[in-house]
Structure 1
């Protein structure tokens, strides 16, 4: 599949390229991204080069991982503000398809609703029969990643529980939260925000 742009009035999603190497290397060195994702830690420029020149193009070509750089509205090559991905997880042609959404946000772009807007665009495409046509889109995050959980909550993902020692991270299995979104689910919170969540 050829990479394509998703956009609305709030955000633009375009394929990240080698021109984004320095920015991605800078952002992925952030301790918060290292704490909650599977990016290498410490993260160096060579990691960004491998991600942008090999992993991203291969994912699109094989139609297994669809990765976008999140940029300001109207800009297809502006600074990377976040990264958004849809990974096809199960299914074969003619069978129901499932996938997973993942994202990170640069420190200087947090708190403005950018990731929520980008995730909405990506999720809608993934679940649209005219898009990727998934029957289930899941979200998972390591327990304690409340910012990521808030994005999923805003999009209507339904929390399904905590999976103990489920999510791998650099050789360790961590407890993980799991939630899902189906094609007909409303794209709005499906339940009250958890009482145990920290205030923000």
Structure 2
């Protein structure tokens, strides 16, 4: 999959806003063996590419005759509107390992009759050749019971993957549901008022 890009000739907030209005996304291509290049990529073509290869999938970007093998390292989106402000594309050479964040998804929750499934980690940081990187790691919790936990070390990462996330960290846990205490019964009886000075003798 190849995406065409053009070098940015103007930078700054107003230039970026103008580019987005024209359907272009400001992006930066950089890497260990690559000088940083500021480019503009077509928004629709970018979305089409990511839909095909996945968010951490590998694709090529061609800039003025030079081809870069890249993946999305970071993406800045608008808080409310579906607008991509900027994309960081990490370039790499064949066989080179880089740091990537791989999403972790939970499956099989419907198989748990009792207990609440809590996911503590949503992605793993690994050192891997991008072409070998999985799109995601799946944790099946269908056989778990209350009190069970899944740690990072329990996930099969695959060959050639160097784990950077703490392997002792909890990914998923199953806890007992909280039992709500019944409210105390209300009574219509009112406490007798205390008469101040009732037991005192009056002296004349």
Q: TM-score range by the shorter chain?
A: under 0.3
Q: Which one has a larger percent strand, Structure 1 or Structure 2? A: 2
Max radius of gyration: which structure? Answer: 2
Q: Provide the TM-score with structure 1 as the length reference.
A: 0.28
Q: Provide the TM-score with structure 2 as the length reference.
A: 0.27
